[in-house]
Amino acid sequence: MKFLWPETLWLLLAIPVLVAVYVVLLRRRKKLALRYASLTLVKEAMGAGQSVRRHVPPLLILLALTTMFAAVGRPVAVVTLPSQHETIILAMDVSGSMRATDVQPNRLAASQAAAKAFLAEQPSTTRIGVVAFAATASLVQTPTRNREDIIASIDRFQLQRGTAIGSGIIVSLATLFPNAGIDVSKLIYGREARRFIPRDRAREAEKKDFKPVPPGSYHSGAIILLTDGQRTTGPDSLEAARMAADRGVRVFTVGVGTKAGETIGFEGWSMRVRLDEETLKSIANLTHGEYFYAGTAPDLVKVYKTLNSRLVLEKKETEITALLAAAAAVMVLFAAALSLLWFNRIV
């Protein structure tokens, strides 16, 4: 635990002073008790149980004050809380390699079915956008809470040639940050699109006042990237992942297909398609996301269910001032209730 206002913790020095005052008052009370004509009556009235009970309410008040003084310092702790993800971008591969049947009925159909199952598990307050990428990437559904529109956009997928994973990430980032000045055209359609885009050029496409933040620190959105991981064109996948990391956006990657791969043919051409796990793991690691392997259609559904649980609950640093203040209030009320119950008055 740490404190945003540690300089206010000097208030805790009042606690030992209050303890000393309480001890002095107890001694004065004993002196007054000596004035009674019969000490026997006093002892009978103040049995062992009563002697202990009379210290409980003051102790609770003391603990409440300690808690309140700590709350003034604005404590921050790592706690597990419901996620604040307001927007999730599904970046889905629609390249020709997704027609491979190593995942039944094929990679694309399986990924579409799993994405729909994922949608059904999301809270109604979460906005979801869909980005489709092949040789380039495009936003096929702006972030919305309307599940029917999202499902319709997923059903409209058409397979195309090429796989530009970096383009998918960049368009997803531009969707999450529409006012951030991310120049999608320059980053995706610049010179030598098949080669990696240097980081300094990526920086030029953003606003000059942009300052990188720690990876994984953005809690209002996330990207779920589903692909077989074989980039063939477009910006470098890892450079695009670094852009996401600099904005604190986590990218959860899902690898579709078997590691052995499959040879597919279409319109007179054929190619061997294999799952590129290393790239997907690197993207997840750079952004503090996580990589999931889906070798079969049932595996893909399980992956999305796992992703849902990861997005619903997460550990993060949170200010717990209100929590401590509430605890202090409960202790004060409890002390007052015990006083009324045991002594018919508030001590």
Phi-psi category of residue 267: left, alpha or beta, with phi > 0 → left and psi -120 to 50 → alpha = left
Cβ atoms 142, 176 nearer than 8 A = no
pLDDT digits (tens, 9 = 90+) for 239-280: 999 999 999 999 999 988 776 655 555 555 555 566 788 899
Angle formed by the axes of helices 56-72 and 14-33, to 10°? 160
- The Cα–Cα gap between 255 and 294 comes to 6
- The Cα–Cα gap between 134 and 151 comes to 19
Phi and psi at residue 262, in whole multiples of 5°? -160, 150
pLDDT at 185: 85
Confidence of residue 286 (pLDDT cuts 50, 70, 90): very high
Rounded to an integer, what is the distance from CA 245 to the centroid of its chain?
14
Across 284-289, average pLDDT: 94
Residue spans of the domains in the chain: they are 2-79+319-343, 83-295
Task: Give percent of the chain above pLDDT 90.
Answer: 32
Does domain 83-295 fall under CATH 2.40.160.40? My reply is no
pTM: 0.65
Confidence of residue 78 (pLDDT cuts 50, 70, 90): confident
